[in-house]
Amino acid sequence: MRVDLYVFAGSHPCEAVMAAARYKSIEYRHIELVPVWHRFFMLARFRKGTVPGMIADGRKVVGTREIMRAFDQMQVEPPLLPADPALCAAVEEAEGWGERVLQDIGRRLIWSHFKRDTSTLKAWAATAPDPRVRRVKTAFAVPIARIAATANKASDANVRNDLAALPGLLDRVDELIEQGVIGGASPNAADFQILSSIGLWTMMHDLRSAIVDRPCGLAAARLFPMYTDSVPGGVLPPEWLAPLRAATP
């Protein structure tokens, strides 16, 4: 079966499905898109303007949850949902929460950083595996950052609210690990969904110290080691970070 994944580098939903594919030993072709322009491509190809997208032997699927379900249909082992009905329900609930809540927060936080410091976006763009995509990302870093920040509603008010909510969200992810819903020896769909967002947050230097030593930070680093401390600190105003720093043990 030929599997094409349409993604752009660093996007946490994209990294989630690529990590899940590797875990299930599903071979895929990585098709790199350019942020902002990806919306037009995805609308034309999939009739939905978001990544990730997948075409597997002509079947088109968009979205992290939908792609992971397709992975389990394509290849049963190892499963992304547990066999135990109660645990499976808990995993699906956690996965849905991760998609509805954590994904958007990650987008707002990262594009808020990139809008204020486009040199960071240019450095991030340099990691794109396709040299053509790399050149476009670098050349158009400023408009990409501005448009993406607007499209993802990364206003100052929204980002401040996200940062204030972060301690409680991290506590909830740690609780899911303690309950055995995620963070086990065999990752499930909720692991990939939730921990990809946690990993993205650890890219941002000003957030990293509040996350990396927590159970969720350690679990995210195991599944998503590509998220290193690569977005410099001092980009966001210090007062925005005060609630997170006050809650850090």
Q: Which domains does the chain have, with CATH numbers?
A: 3-74 (3.40.30.10), 85-247 (1.20.1050)
pLDDT above 90 (res 216)? yes
Q: What is the DSSP letter of 231?
A: B
Per residue in 58-88, pLDDT (tens digit) is: 999 999 999 999 999 999 999 999 999 999 9
Phi, psi of 61 (to 5 degrees): -140, 140
pLDDT above 90 (res 241)? yes
* pTM assigned to the model: 0.94
pLDDT above 90 (res 1)? no
Residue 191: pLDDT band by 50, 70, 90 thresholds?
Answer: very high
pLDDT of residue 163: 97
Helix pair 12-23, 103-116: axis angle to 10 deg = 130
* More confident of the two residues 184 and 10: 184
Residue 219: pLDDT band by 50, 70, 90 thresholds?
Answer: very high
pLDDT above 90 (res 213)? yes
pLDDT above 80 (res 124)? no
Nearest-angstrom CA–CA distance, 244 and 240 = 8
Average pLDDT over residues 98-102: 97
pLDDT of residue 120: 79
pLDDT above 80 (res 128)? no
Ranges 20-24, 128-132, 140-144, 155-159: which has the least confidence? 128-132
Exposed (0-12), middle (13-18) or buried (19+): which is 185, by Cβ within 10 Å?
exposed
Nearest-angstrom CA–CA distance, 205 and 8 = 22
pLDDT above 90 (res 218)? yes
pLDDT above 90 (res 89)? yes
